[in-house]
Structure 1
Amino acid sequence: MSTFDLLSNSMKKKVWDMKWERFTVIQEMTIPVVIQTDKDIVVSSGTASGKTEAVFLPVLSLVEKEARGKVKVLYISPLKALINNQFERIEKLCEYNQIEIHRWHGDVDHGQKKKFVKNPAGILQITPESIESLFVNRTEYIQSIFKDIEFIIIDEIHSFIDKGRGVQLRSLISRLEAYCNKRPRIIGLSATIDNFELVKKWVNYENPNQVEVLQTDEGDKELNYYLMHFPLDEENKKPVELYDDIRALTRNLKSIIFCNSRGGVEETTVFLNRLAKREGVGETYYPHHSSIDKKEREYVEKTIATATVPKSVIATSSLELGIDIGKIELVIQIDNTFTVSSLKQRLGRSGRESDKSQILQLYTTSMDSLIQSLAVMELVLEKWVEPSTGYGAPYDIMFHQILSLCHEFNGITLDDLLVSIKNNGSFHHIKAERIVMLIEHMLQYEYLELIPGENVFVVGLEGERLMRGKEFYPVFMTSEEYEVFDGARVIGMLDKGYPIAVDDNVILAGKLWTIVDIDENRNKIRVIKAVSAKPPRYLGGSGELHPRVAEKMMEILCSDKMFNYINDEGTLTLEDARKNNRLSGIGNQQRFFWIKRDEVLFESYTGTKIAKTLTLMFRSMGLESRVCDSVCRIQLKGVAFEQLKKVLEQLKNKEWFVDELLEYVKENEWFASKYSSMLPADLLIEMHIAHEMDVKGAIDFLKNKEFVVIDIEE
């Protein structure tokens, strides 16, 4: 029987309507597994390879007879905007079977939610936070909504696996399974994922062999790419020539321009629109990031998607996932992405039509950015991507879920609570004594309360304080922000973490504004239009460097390989960066220390966790040390040439233990998450070790590298 013949008549009719001549490779692989087996599935293929249809065509074929009166499919997405995009796509697939599709997230009208709760049916599209909200606020409807679910489809599953949000999601899935007539099948979709053994355990920890991985490179398009290096000017600003080049490239192409910061998005938007205006062209470049108001972002998405003349959107990772903004011809990345996965996800936004190639233009403005961009690009070409590692020691999310469980059951005994946690896909591996330690701590600090005589745990006073309001549902940290108004219109948000004053000029949503009023009590700022402004600053980190990316950077620095996809300025900068290595005869398995008086710079070229662990080792040897930049250079103070050589020898030969290094962690260096400060000290230490340290990796690094000490004043 052909793949097409496996589908229901309504789905066959839909395929005919779409005038498909054939299924894609991933569709040929996926449809039979969905229909002919009862396995969980992970579908991994390139962007625009047809993953959504690969899953929904067979799923709809299986559930369409019952889905008109029951919820049969739960579609989980990391983004509300992605839900809105996929709604229309899935709705078209359901044209001939009358299956209803319902959206449930913070922006959906209360009346629509109420209507769905009364008559749950079809497909429910939802975010993890909204599932949490259902458990907290509509507990009485949980069973009627979830009892008949057969499929849980998780879009962009890679965006969950390594994060606390993924721990929350897996916990919520385990909890809702208890209300289902039978365990639903889980199907995960991703274009950038690795370490499938871990992913299989995440999907089905009880029986990972029941998870089928379907993977193909078919969606990987022909890639045209180039890198232009434009060094920062004397004032540390991006040169005008860089913007001129972007303007020339995007003048006739519909593009996404990715920046690594929200402030960078704002600055780039204003500068490029100035260039367009000089040519007599109207607004051409539109900003998109998480601190721009939702309505403004939706306007930008619609404008770009429907544009009939070349327009470009300038974005952070807010457009990295598959939000539909139409056919993008060109992807631009300004300075390096922090991960290979991120670059691969971004370049996948172009060339989505079957006969089009992907076009990627990279720009760099510093030597480090150039080397890291080359390393990431080379790893993309090698088809390597950071492997999933999971979220270690998830006590902070367990704290959150214990509160949610106690609320869900309106009180729960210790035995039942322990069973719920031990049967949970996120926490099954945690020892009972650690769970009890956390529960006792929560009792002590009134996050939980024990009802006398009944031995039932309920949410305590401090727990109630945490659970009030929308901030309880997401488990990720957010910074305190001001809401910014132009008259009655909300423009976006500004971080409270940086000083802001009346009469300051700022850029927000791609426009120039003067602050006229700051209401500290209500967290509101009022602005009027300005003629000049500086980009706002936002809190945020640089991301974690994977050891393989760092190793690739060192390989590039130690090789003579010429890259035919970089401009002359980039080639000269690369050759300049290689000079020190050549003069010192350093190879890619060597690392060097530069000594100037009593200050040392260690070019570690290793991963973030290993570098942080090395700093603790140096401190234990009596040296002042810190990781001083995003490529993990380590600064050492108070050490001379001969002493450093002795220290290095001791570092290599010493037997290292995690516990002895912990006393050298500084107060501001401890692992921090939304709920980490509410944990007992022992559990916080475990989380810090899991997230911030890699003793084994550091020991291997010390044993396998040769260290060269160079006194640059000799």
Structure 2
Amino acid sequence: MIPAFDLLHRKIQEAIWNQETKWERLRPLQEDSIRAVLQRDNDIVLAAATASGKTEAAFLPILSRLAEEPDRSGVGAVYVGPLKALINDQFRRLEDLCKYAEIPVHKWHGDVSATQKKKFRENPGGVLLITPESLESNFINYGAHLERIYSRLEFVVIDELHSFLEGVRGTHLKSLLARLRLAAGADPRMLGLSATLGDWTVAQQFLDEALPASVEVISPESDRNELKVGLRSYLKAEEEGEEREDPEFIRLVSDLAKDFRKGSNLIFTNSRGLAETLADQLQQISHQEKWARNPFRIHHGSISKEIREEVEGELKLGEGHGLPVTAFCTATLEMGIDIGAAKAVGQIGPTWSVNSLVQRVGRSGRREGESSILRGYAIDENPAPEGNIEDRFYPNLLRFCALIELMIEGWLEPLDEDDWHLSTLIHQMFSILRQTGGLRPDRLFFQLCEKGAFRSVESGVFQNVLRALGSVELIEQMADGNLILAPKGERIVESKDFYAAFQAVEEYSVRCGEDEIGKLPVDSIPPVGQHLLLGGRRWQVIDIDGELKSVFVQPSRGYTKPVFMGTSGFIHDAVIGKMREILSTKEPLVYLDAEAMNRIESARAEFHRYHLDRSELVPFPGGVRWFPWAGTKTMLTIVTEASLREIKVECGLLHLTFSGMKDEERFRGFLNELVVGASDPLELAAHLPAKHFHKYDECLDTETLDRANARRILDLGGTARVARSALGKWRK
């Protein structure tokens, strides 16, 4: 077999030899990718942990192919990344490789100057790094030039593919790539760079809808590191008060200082507010204890780009330069931005999904031979004798354990294919009508549904969406049959936030003098004279300028709890099921410290005390508690079913409380109705407490919106399953 290195173009070989950090050898992933790209012609998924060389695995063979045509006009390869910071990072890495082969490399996103963009449009070529939103701007503003720029396109590389596989941005990107093929007349090979997934089917479908089985998955076992895990438990104070005065919170801060004061580390939180609070407390401790240097920093989306890049630079320098750094962060560092080798990852509170936990853990153990290290910290309510029954199961600790167990087993959440993504469909309708100036309905359906990203949307649903848009005067039909944007639709497309298919939140810039500290959501701005935490520092608001959308602050010693809201998400049935499995067994969880293990044992005792090993129903005077051990969708469906029947119910993470349900036969009848699926899905969706989840949902007519929500929000099959289980375990 010819060595993979020998398959590369001579100039790319020279580029490898001339790298500042000498390559001792190609990694298995890179060798396999070089052979797959240069010796075969199918689409490819490259799957491995962060910093395993995925970018080079994709681009070494791609650049070799482009180097064979040095006089090529037009873009040869497009790299799509989810973050501007990630694109900037990859641009620096590719620029070094490309200069030896004399292949131009360009980037296009909101921070790139108009001059650079114009230069690229006038002389396109080589490699283009771009975000989905900037690719959208190409269609809106330069639709007539797409064929000239992209007709020679051979490769599309999608970084962080797993982050695009579901949700608005993924559907948006899939639609843009399908439209690019049609507009440019190109059929590029697709390469997806991804973290390891449990099921590759949807990733393969994303890259090749027609022949998903033809997509090759390259995921060498040898690139996977040993995993080391530790998990601690903390309880909130029984009395309401300042979080920073809570003894358990003080213990958490002390443990973080001990665990992360050395080395380069990342600590993920589920809210920006908690990240700010912890960074502030460690800043105070560093002053009180007179540390020579405070190694704790903060990094999240509300902090200015300059501060984030400064933190990234410190992390990248790392301990090798005698500068240990630990950054409190949110999802901003979950992606593959190059921040060097993190020694360990901390996670405060359980993530909403196994996928997210795996991605975060993958930020550590990046050096060859190193282990990935996860240090978890679960914070629960202190269970009171007459308090919430769920508190006795320490649900955050228990859910964290379930996520870890599933991660160790290699299970990851499957992807939801039931969503029509009608809001994103409307966005793409507007975009195409702006790009083309007008199009017949059948051609619009052909581009978006028959050949595009919305193949599950039937013709009848598509026509209903068009009628809804026409009824609110967003589009109109001309005498020749073409659809065009109406004046109201034109104003939407011309708005500054149109390029993103997701809903943008209005933010104000926070400034100290001429320096921007970061941004705050408009509903999170304190009044003048009040204090805020941002960037790990304390500030006092001195002025708010509505016209400039700016908050002016000055340094302060005053403290106030941050006002950022935490993230939320849907929890899969398998996570809740694993929680029940942990409670029902006697197996020790070796990654728990003694206190956490004692609390799990206490939760197990409560599980058996309530006979939840044999039943799912816990009667109480005047009602019943039902533990269906189901995820968010099923729980929401049960609540909506009860609301439809005017049955009073309160929903927790693990159980539902039916008050006033004294008649057992009535509750049995309710369960039987759930089993047989007596409710009309549309009628059920009409009773959802909230209906508008995405940017253009409000443009839809009521019936179409209810049909869409019945598919994406409700789970009638799961509801029937858990109701059948409850009836089967009924305690008479």
TM-score scaled by structure 1? 0.94
User: Which residue number corresponds to residue 385 of structure 2?
Assistant: none
Structure 1 stretch 632-641 or stretch 106-115: which is displaced more?
Answer: 632-641
Partner of 2:376: helix, strand, or coil? strand
Q: Please, which of 9, 19, 40 is the counterpart of residue 37 of structure 1?
A: 40
Residues 1:660 and 1:598: Cα distance change in structure 2 (over 3 Å): farther
Deviation at 1:643, TM superposition (A): 5.0
Residues 1:466 and 1:598: Cα distance change in structure 2 (over 3 Å): farther
Deviation at 1:707, TM superposition (A): 7.2
- 1:230–1:365 CA contact under 8 A, matched in 2: yes
Paired residues in the alignment total: 705
- 2:232–2:592 CA contact under 8 A, matched in 1: yes
Following the alignment from structure 1 to structure 2, what is the Cα–Cα distance between the partners of residues 544 and 649?
23
- 1:46–1:218 CA contact under 8 A, matched in 2: no
Partner of 1:62: helix, strand, or coil? helix
- 2:143–2:435 CA contact under 8 A, matched in 1: yes
Partner of 1:552: helix, strand, or coil? helix
Letter in 2 for 1:5: D
User: Which residue number corresponds to residue 48 of structure 1?
Assistant: 51
Q: Deviations over 1:468-490 (max 9, x none)?
A: 23200111123333322212222
Q: How does 1:350-389 map to 2 (within 5 A)?
A: 350-366=364-380, 367-389=394-416
Structure 1 stretch 269-278 or stretch 19-28: which is displaced more?
Answer: 19-28
Structure 1 stretch 387-396 or stretch 692-701: which is displaced more?
Answer: 387-396
Partner of 2:722: helix, strand, or coil? helix
Q: Please, which of 117, 120, 137 is the counterpart of residue 116 of structure 1?
A: 120
Q: Deviations over 1:521-567 (max 9, x none)?
A: 54322212211222322345421101111100111111111112211
1:338 aligns with 2:366: no
1:402 aligns with 2:429: yes
Following the alignment from structure 2 to structure 1, what is the Cα–Cα distance between the partners of residues 663 and 317?
64
Q: How does 1:72-87 map to 2 (within 5 A)?
A: 72-87=76-91
1:602 aligns with 2:610: no
Residues 1:539 and 1:454: Cα distance change in structure 2 (over 3 Å): farther
1:297 aligns with 2:324: no
Partner of 2:657: helix, strand, or coil? strand
Following the alignment from structure 1 to structure 2, what is the Cα–Cα distance between the partners of residues 527 and 79?
28
Identity of aligned residues (%): 32
1:454 aligns with 2:480: yes
Residues 1:664 and 1:641: Cα distance change in structure 2 (over 3 Å): farther
Q: How does 1:129-144 map to 2 (within 5 A)?
A: 129-144=133-148
Deviation at 1:208, TM superposition (A): 2.2
- 1:260–1:316 CA contact under 8 A, matched in 2: yes
- 1:344–1:380 CA contact under 8 A, matched in 2: yes
Q: How does 1:4-43 map to 2 (within 5 A)?
A: 4-17=5-18, 19-43=22-46
Q: Please, which of 596, 617, 620 is the counterpart of residue 592 of structure 1?
A: 617
Residues 1:129 and 1:340: Cα distance change in structure 2 (over 3 Å): same
Following the alignment from structure 2 to structure 1, what is the Cα–Cα distance between the partners of residues 237 and 251?
11
Q: Please, which of 148, 151, 163 is the counterpart of residue 152 of structure 2?
A: 148
User: Which residue number corresponds to residue 333 of structure 2?
Assistant: 319
Deviation at 1:261, TM superposition (A): 0.2
Partner of 1:497: helix, strand, or coil? helix
Structure 1 stretch 653-662 or stretch 173-182: which is displaced more?
Answer: 653-662
Structure 1 stretch 438-447 or stretch 13-22: which is displaced more?
Answer: 13-22
Q: Deviations over 1:481-521 (max 9, x none)?
A: 33222122222222233573222211111111111222345
- 2:615–2:731 CA contact under 8 A, matched in 1: no
- 1:171–1:424 CA contact under 8 A, matched in 2: no
User: Which residue number corresponds to residue 64 of structure 2?
Assistant: 61
Following the alignment from structure 1 to structure 2, what is the Cα–Cα distance between the partners of residues 353 and 60?
26
User: Which residue number corresponds to residue 263 of structure 1?
Assistant: 273
Q: Deviations over 1:616-648 (max 9, x none)?
A: 2233444122434xx353233332263565345
Partner of 2:183: helix, strand, or coil? coil
- 2:476–2:485 CA contact under 8 A, matched in 1: yes
Partner of 2:76: helix, strand, or coil? strand
Q: Deviations over 1:30-60 (max 9, x none)?
A: 2211111211111222223222121111111
Q: How does 1:217-256 map to 2 (within 5 A)?
A: 217-235=221-239, 237=243, 239-256=249-266
* Stretches (4+) displaced over 6 A: 707-711
Q: How does 1:543-558 map to 2 (within 5 A)?
A: 543-558=569-584
Partner of 2:45: helix, strand, or coil? strand
Following the alignment from structure 1 to structure 2, what is the Cα–Cα distance between the partners of residues 207 and 659?
33
Q: Deviations over 1:254-281 (max 9, x none)?
A: 1111111010110011011222223323
- 1:74–1:125 CA contact under 8 A, matched in 2: yes
Following the alignment from structure 1 to structure 2, what is the Cα–Cα distance between the partners of residues 653 and 428?
31
User: Which residue number corresponds to residue 2 of structure 1?
Assistant: 3
- 2:316–2:340 CA contact under 8 A, matched in 1: yes
1:348 aligns with 2:362: yes
Following the alignment from structure 2 to structure 1, what is the Cα–Cα distance between the partners of residues 700 and 193?
34
User: Which residue number corresponds to residue 676 of structure 2?
Assistant: 654
Following the alignment from structure 1 to structure 2, what is the Cα–Cα distance between the partners of residues 321 and 391?
26
What RMSD in Å do the two structures reach over aligned CA positions? Answer: 2.3
Deviation at 1:134, TM superposition (A): 1.0
Deviation at 1:146, TM superposition (A): 1.0
Structure 1 stretch 648-657 or stretch 297-306: which is displaced more?
Answer: 648-657
Following the alignment from structure 1 to structure 2, what is the Cα–Cα distance between the partners of residues 210 and 180?
24
- 1:75–1:152 CA contact under 8 A, matched in 2: yes
Deviation at 1:360, TM superposition (A): 1.4
User: Which residue number corresponds to residue 467 of structure 2?
Assistant: 440
Letter in 1 for 2:404: M
Following the alignment from structure 1 to structure 2, what is the Cα–Cα distance between the partners of residues 599 and 507?
45
Deviation at 1:600, TM superposition (A): 4.5
Structure 1 stretch 73-82 or stretch 461-470: which is displaced more?
Answer: 461-470
User: Which residue number corresponds to residue 639 of structure 2?
Assistant: 615
Q: Deviations over 1:214-268 (max 9, x none)?
A: 2333332111221111222234635211111110112222111111101011001
Letter in 2 for 1:163: G
User: Which residue number corresponds to residue 527 of structure 1?
Assistant: 553
Q: Deviations over 1:12-38 (max 9, x none)?
A: 333444544443232232221111121
- 1:619–1:664 CA contact under 8 A, matched in 2: no
Following the alignment from structure 1 to structure 2, what is the Cα–Cα distance between the partners of residues 633 and 478?
34
Deviation at 1:433, TM superposition (A): 2.0
Residues 1:27 and 1:658: Cα distance change in structure 2 (over 3 Å): farther
1:189 aligns with 2:215: no
User: Which residue number corresponds to residue 627 of structure 1?
Assistant: 651
- 2:365–2:372 CA contact under 8 A, matched in 1: yes
Residues 1:244 and 1:349: Cα distance change in structure 2 (over 3 Å): same
- 2:685–2:710 CA contact under 8 A, matched in 1: no
Structure 2: state its 5+ residue gaps.
381-393
- 1:171–1:426 CA contact under 8 A, matched in 2: yes
User: Which residue number corresponds to residue 701 of structure 2?
Assistant: 680
Structure 1 stretch 288-297 or stretch 261-270: which is displaced more?
Answer: 288-297
User: Which residue number corresponds to residue 422 of structure 1?
Assistant: 449
- 1:162–1:391 CA contact under 8 A, matched in 2: no
User: Which residue number corresponds to residue 280 of structure 1?
Assistant: 290
Letter in 1 for 2:311: V
Following the alignment from structure 1 to structure 2, what is the Cα–Cα distance between the partners of residues 241 and 709?
44
Partner of 2:6: helix, strand, or coil? helix
Deviation at 1:112, TM superposition (A): 0.8
Residues 1:364 and 1:578: Cα distance change in structure 2 (over 3 Å): same
TM-score scaled by structure 2? 0.92
Structure 1: state its 5+ residue gaps.
none
- 2:51–2:336 CA contact under 8 A, matched in 1: no
Following the alignment from structure 1 to structure 2, what is the Cα–Cα distance between the partners of residues 41 and 216?
14
User: Which residue number corresponds to residue 164 of structure 2?
Assistant: 160
- 2:685–2:707 CA contact under 8 A, matched in 1: no
Partner of 1:143: helix, strand, or coil? helix
Deviation at 1:288, TM superposition (A): 1.1
Following the alignment from structure 1 to structure 2, what is the Cα–Cα distance between the partners of residues 532 and 635?
42
Residues 1:338 and 1:441: Cα distance change in structure 2 (over 3 Å): same
